[in-house]
Amino acid sequence: MKIGSYIYNGKASYGVKLDDGIVDLGRRLGKFYPDLPTLIKAFALGEAEEESRNQSPDFKEEDVYFLPLMPAPVNIYCAGINYLDHIEETGRDKPEFPTLFMKSQQSMIGHGQDLVRPKVSDQFDFEGEFAVVIGKPGRYIAKENWKDYIAGYTIIMDGSIRDFQKRSVDQGKNFYHSSSSGPWLITMDEVPGDFRDMKLTTRLNGKVMQASDLGKLCFDVSDLISYYSQIFYFQPGDMIATGTPGGVGSRRDPPVWMKPGDELEVEITGIGILKNAVVGEN
């Protein structure tokens, strides 16, 4: 099942993706679960799948305004410098432990919405990332049990303002509407084989900038869940972004920065494409 958050006819809702449109769950289950985070916290993904089975779509994808995948406040944990090819291009040594920074809710937008390059910097960089969504509460999670705590997978574009990032990572990673997530959460039962075989591709104006596979993660999903759960008590709906592969704009010669009028796509096998245009801040 692929499920996402959006606005339709001025009302926030969520629904299941079909080949020819969306089954709206807000009108079917909204009395009990008003949004996707609430649905996940109630362990009701199975109920959502049952409700959408054998239904005709209520409307087409192009008729909705996509929200960030998790429109209600959740924790977004992010691993930095976590692909072997990205470690190599930055000239760093392989880290002993996972790094960590957080992303604020207001930094996130949904699929199809405009990324905002801030007026205070032109160093707006792209980072396509594979992310997992937590499905049940947990702390001190054993590596071998990581799948028990996952609701599914999604895509995050971790927009980075590089000059501010040099002042502190959190500054560069949390500019207003600089990042995006979605469009879909794909549930674990729909993921074939090993996530490490999934491919990640980032395209800027149609040109491939990042192309890697998840087998190149320095610390994979089980490592990150086990390590971060020593620090945090995970809650359903929380997200973990696993880092970006090589090819980021700041490491190119000359650097490639996103600018108004650009279009960015992040594609991951099985999940889909997260697409956003770039505008300048007024």
pLDDT digits (tens, 9 = 90+) for 141-195: 999 999 999 999 999 999 999 999 999 999 999 999 999 999 999 998 888 678 8
For residue 82, give both structure tokens. Answer: 């976590």
CA distance 74 to 106: 11
Portion of the chain with pLDDT greater than 90, in percent: 87
Q: Which domains does the chain have, with CATH numbers?
A: 2-66 (no CATH), 76-280 (3.90.850.10)
Residue 235 confidence (pLDDT) above 90: yes
CA distance 137 to 143: 15
DSSP class of residue 57? Answer: P
| Residue with token string 């995050």 | 156
CA distance 109 to 208: 22
DSSP class of residue 121? Answer: -
- Residue 39's closest CA among 261, 247, 236, 275? 236
Does the N-terminal peptide bond of residue 254 adopt cis geometry, omega within 30 degrees of 0? yes
Check residue 206 and give its pLDDT. 97
Interacting residues of 37 by C-beta distance below 8 A, sequence separation 6+: 70, 71, 72, 74, 236, 237
DSSP class of residue 239? Answer: E
Q: How confident is the model at residue 253 (pLDDT cuts 50, 70, 90)?
A: very high
Residue 173: how many other CB atoms lie within 10 Å? 24
- Residue 126's closest CA among 166, 168, 180, 185? 180
| Residue with token string 């996130």 | 108
**Amino acid found at 206:** G
Q: What is the pTM of this model?
A: 0.95
CB 239 within 8 A of CB 126: no
Question: Rounded mean pLDDT of 198-206?
Answer: 96
Alpha helices in the chain (DSSP H): 26-29, 36-41, 45-52, 84-90, 162-167, 169-173, 221-228
Residue 81 confidence (pLDDT) above 90: no
**Displacement of CA 279 from its chain's centroid (Å):** 20
Residue 90 confidence (pLDDT) above 80: no
CA distance 72 to 84: 33
Check residue 112 and give its pLDDT. 98
CB 149 within 8 A of CB 237: no
Check residue 77 and give its pLDDT. 97
CB 100 within 8 A of CB 77: yes
